[in-house]
Structure 1
């Protein structure tokens, strides 16, 4: 990733902690730790305290922003995460791995397969169950940070093309998941609020075009757009994606780095070290007692989620990748065979952050089913990560032996 290869500073001092937080491995570990804390806390004798903190209301009722701590984490903190995703997506579309049809073909096609097939599998397994009319979307997502973290830990000896393919796949997959959130989970649109959000976005774009760098103009615009989208009935995290896509990614003559690179560099540590872990802390605290686990393996909705992530993702990504590489030989990642592609496809089953978000949105009216679906996401994502890690390590030994000596 371009931002990972930047120098230690982009014009300002950067702490060692910030450098560590920019690596997928550290981000994945912090995310895993936050999830573990949430699960232990929610299943401990202090679970009532967890529920009280998660459901405590903070905000300004007059502005319709009287939200629970969990809602602030979902709607507010994840907006920062999606802003970073939007920056990365814009960069990849304009100057990165998805900037040409030839380079984008395989990961985009694989991402499409990795969304359509899991949704189909989920609908098949959970057909007729209450909530499935929207819960089918839960297994369509792949967690960028976690999947890349597993690859960094278990696939260090793999060719760099594996990371490039997975990054392109995850970015395209996230774009699809963002569209699903925007289209499926936006209801009761307030036209006036939507116009306010559009005006804020237009002002942001205009300032970018005029090369204005005053943060004190951009931050209020971002807050206005976020609040307006929240009021409009559109999920507020869409504000982060939209602003990321409106940020300039090509540097001007004499400009060392474009705004998107500078912002991604500065916000990535906050996203990986604060925003996503806090979201996981208040989203992953689901009961995992005997009754809850029995529900996961007997209720059609959580079963459909697990089938979608563990079966649908692998079949969709690997199947479409195989088809595309046979039809278009030039699309095959250099140095990766079919077994390698199967291992990378397994990483697609790590839904985690975005799948938890979609579970909350899709099953808001069925809280018990939502808890079971989130438990299914956690179990399936953990299983996918462990299976993928084993496959990556096994194939990694093959790649290590294949390297020329020296």
Structure 2
């Protein structure tokens, strides 16, 4: 794959820099660098307004396989999307709250939705006005997605679905306007059959309830969501075809967006490297010791592994079998990508606190009565605590290895 940046990419970079410099002012400047994983509680109102600012600039929906401008969006090449992501990270723009709608639901609607569904939902995403969350995991059906028990029954009076059940680990559910829900619409079905991909509005008092899940980092971006006869507006891909739609979405989650994710990883690694350099610089560390060869080796490995993840993502995209270039041709590629970045990010969190040494055991802000626990944590402490979950959410390592074993290597499946 030729991934060199060309003249068009250079022009885009200049335009992106100018736009970001001119628009990252006022409350957006105050939200700079805030709201990443483990810190989704930060500056939510400003970041939601920032989504609308991005929409007005046409920066949402760059990778949608649609004609440019159909819903107000630009259409950028893969290299162009990476250019934008690099500049976005370099300017420390606020963490996105519209990622799930733009990068997961929208491409799924392009691939599986009707034109009517696209016209209803894509404009709101492109304008940054409607936010989405993902209703997949359930108690007892997390990584084993085919075991979902949330059900939906079509109401003969109006033809709409009524959804009943529970979802868990739902990111951004308190701020989302809509949720795409995998539900069982055939009560006699088992496993992958009889599932449908439904679109549910979150603002249904008495029918949709969101309960935050407090994490060890003190924050609560994950939630439990309870549906009690909630109305579903549409079934994407048709009734009973939910498994194909849902798994297609997961492949998108680990496609182009992994390159963007890695830019954030690189920034976190740079911060850890800077902390290590401060400990072992020309003046020597404060504790009088020299460079730590073990930490040095771990830092080098982290850098090398990040480069490996980048080339793996590029190779996967180059081998794509789809016209849009987003769905991996190798059925095991998404699982390999998840195994790579989940373990890498968790090790980075461990390395971040190791570099800080004993100081990592204390918060960066002295604790006082009434101070929320999470406000006393530094960036490295949040990284360590939040990244403990990286090998679990989005499909645990065990499930990813099963997928590779059964679908790629052809090994016999587990007895059930």
Same fold by TM (over 0.5)?
Answer: no
More helix by share: 1
TM-score by length of 2: 0.29
Work out which of the two has the higher radius of gyration on C-alpha atoms and give 1 or 2. Answer: 2
More strand by share: 2
Between 1 and 2, higher relative CO (CA 8 Å, sep ≥ 6) is seen in 1
TM-score by length of 1: 0.29
